[in-house]
Chains A and B, each alone.
Chain A
Amino acid sequence: MVTLKQIRNSVLIALWMMILTFPIMVIKVNTIENIVIWRWMNLLYIGVGTVILSIFWFFLINRRKLEPEERKRSFALKGKIETLKGVLAKPVVQKPLYAALLVIIIIFPFVSSLYQTGIMITALMYVILGLGLNIVVGLGGLLHLGYAAFYAVGAYTYALLHRYLGLSFWVCLPIGALSAMLLGILVGLPVLRLRGDYLAIVTLAFGEIVRILLENLSQYTGGPAGISGIPRPSFFGIKMSLSTAMNYTYFLTFALVLFTIFVVRRLEHSRLGRSWVAMREDEVASEAMGIDITRAKLSSFALGALWAGLAGVFFSAKTTFVNPASFTLWESVIILCVVVLGGIGSIKGVVLGAIVIILLPEYLRAFSQYRMLFFGLILVMMMIFRPGGFIPAKRRVYTFDKAQLEESD
């Protein structure tokens, strides 16, 4: 599976890496106290590590080159996975499976600690964010690197309206969502005519502008320290204990997830959703087919913002505190990764992506130092070896019954 030549190459690569990483890996200086430490063992680690990694890499590369058929044969396990997938796709199996999943989700907060519930709420929030951004990036094909800004608008709308006007969660939810959307339209109008990469950098710039403004308009926003004491969602004014309040937030977030999936699914296979996908596939052709590109872009951008706004209000309510540090560029990047790793344009994929990206690092606390390192590596490897994401998007299959077939004769 890996040729001898590739193994030899791996050794050469390892040597190269040892030289390349020498200064940073081996020498450690502290220019404050003028100490220099030489860590020769690191050289060995790099060498061995690189050999192993690059053999693994070659293995994957060889596999990628195989035709799908051969790949199936070469891999007994893979074949079994395929059969499993086939079984899972059957409605008889799927319905109970979804039911079981639902039961687990409902029971979860009652059997887990407050901390666990908190993490799960976070994961659910990223599902919402991922699905929202999926409208823009996955369906519309617009490279958006400033999504966190709209998330921030939602979060701060609730925080500020509560602080100055004492408005409640339920009043702020629609206001937050709408203001994010409005901002989306305002920003979108001038910038959406830019080409892909220019759009990426302008959205990035916009995201940073919003964050810096939040940081510096401290007389209103509390500056870097942010705003605290934001109430959790209320339930007809009933007083709740902390754990009840958390559970309540959990279920609300879950409800929003369901609502989001419902709406996105409907949008996806509507006239509007198809026009987004067409625009993603080929702008010139879709314009020639009668699609108003400006409208398609603006609507996907605005709807994406709307969901970010919703998620933002939930975020404030969950953490009871907001500050600009939650809305950095990395936040936008992580949401983008949720979409891309999960599967661009695929709802199931995005849901899985959010859960993996948020939960995995949480439960790998032991490696917490290394998690961002691996995260970066995984992003690269996913793009190369599984570009469609965990669950690649599928197009809808239309069935035609006999009557229809004859009728159109």
Chain B
Amino acid sequence: MAAILDASQVTMDFGGLRAVNNADVHIDQGEIVALIGPNGAGKTTFFNVITGVYKPTTGDVRITAPGKETESITGLKPNKITEKGLARTFQNIRLFQNMTVLENVMIGRHCRMKAGIAGAVFRDRKTREEEEQVVADSYAILKKIGLETFVNELAKNLPYGAQRRLEIARAMATEPFLLLLDEPAAGMNPHETRELDEMILKIRATEKISILLIEHDMSLVMSISDRIYVMDYGLLIAEGQPKEVRANPAVIKAYLGEEFNA
């Protein structure tokens, strides 16, 4: 079976800076894959390229949604890519601050809804039913993520950890087959991180969603990933199972700098 995500030779330049350099990444159905690397390595930029925020300077990103043909998503607009089944969270939380928690998730359902202007104004039966369904679905998702107590709270009033989880809930509402999480544990305490760990595994198990994860918390990465890519200065310097990567001298060097060898 083809990989659900296949990014080949992706390069992204910002002026003179090559943020991502010829990266090849693929993800198979049901995998949890981590992308790690020191600060400024280009991980987020790689996410941005895959999700259509930036158009890659060169390279191609192809996806194979379950039960669909392989297709290229290079250069598509972000909303199109989301429609095709990729959803993401942001490293710097980007919730809709002045909307409620429930509404944030309802926005995630947007691309799976149909109502237009006429529906909104006349509120015909189909639209009403769709609205009700969306509210119910969104509530169900919040419940899964454990945020149901906050339903009507404004997103900006949530505690930090809950905001991170809301980002995941919102992304899941788009019905993705691949979820891209950008440092989901950043700013969480160890307890919250452990819960997150379980949550990610549960998402994969129950929703059949594959996951690509950027994370600095190594214990989280090592415990849940099937495979790890290591990026440094835009280049992928290693790839493999957690124990292989942990033992890889190039990785250790990238993380600890030159003096480690001395």
Whether the complex brings A and B within 8 Å at their CB atoms is answered yes
Binding site for B on A (CB under 8 A): 263, 266-267, 270-275, 277-278, 281-282, 284-293, 299, 303, 395-398, 400, 404, 407-409
Instruction: Classify the interface of chain A: helix, strand, loop or mixed.
Output: helix
Query: Do A271 and B121 touch (CB < 8 A)?
Result: no
Q: Which residue of B lies closest to A285 (CB)?
A: B94
Binding site for A on B (CB under 8 A): 51, 53, 77-79, 82-83, 87-88, 90, 94-100, 102-103, 106-108, 110-111, 113, 115-117, 119-121, 123, 127, 130-131, 134-136, 139-140, 143, 151-152, 154, 170-171, 174
Instruction: Classify the interface of chain B: helix, strand, loop or mixed.
Output: helix
Q: A278 to B104, alpha carbons, bound, how many Å?
A: 8
Q: Which residue of B lies closest to A292 (CB)?
A: B79
For the complex of A and B, the 8 pairs showing the least CB-CB separation, nearest first, are: A290-B111, A270-B120, A290-B82, A281-B96, A285-B94, A408-B140, A287-B78, A271-B115
A-B contact pairs, 13 of them (CB 8 A): A274-B99, A274-B110, A275-B107, A275-B110, A284-B90, A285-B90, A288-B51, A288-B78, A289-B111, A290-B79, A292-B77, A398-B102, A398-B151
Query: Do B136 and A408 touch (CB < 8 A)?
Result: yes
When distances are taken between beta carbons in the complex, the residues of chain B under 8 Å from A271 are 110, 113, 115-116, 119-120, 130-131, 134
When distances are taken between beta carbons in the complex, the residues of chain A under 8 Å from B83 are 290
Query: Do A281 and B97 touch (CB < 8 A)?
Result: yes
Query: Do A266 and B123 touch (CB < 8 A)?
Result: yes
Query: Do B121 and A266 touch (CB < 8 A)?
Result: yes
Query: Do B107 and A291 touch (CB < 8 A)?
Result: yes
> How distant is B116 from chain A, measured CB to nearest CB, in Å?
7
When distances are taken between beta carbons in the complex, the residues of chain A under 8 Å from B154 are 395
When distances are taken between beta carbons in the complex, the residues of chain B under 8 Å from A288 are 51, 53, 78-79, 82, 87-88, 90, 94
Given contacts A267-B121, A281-B99, A395-B103, contact A290 B174 (CB under 8 A): yes
When distances are taken between beta carbons in the complex, the residues of chain A under 8 Å from B123 are 266
Query: Do B140 and A287 touch (CB < 8 A)?
Result: no
> How distant is A299 from chain B, measured CB to nearest CB, in Å?
7
Q: A275 to B134, alpha carbons, bound, how many Å?
A: 14
- Among A288, A299, A407, the most chain B Cβ lie within 10 Å of the Cβ of A288
Query: Do B99 and A278 touch (CB < 8 A)?
Result: yes
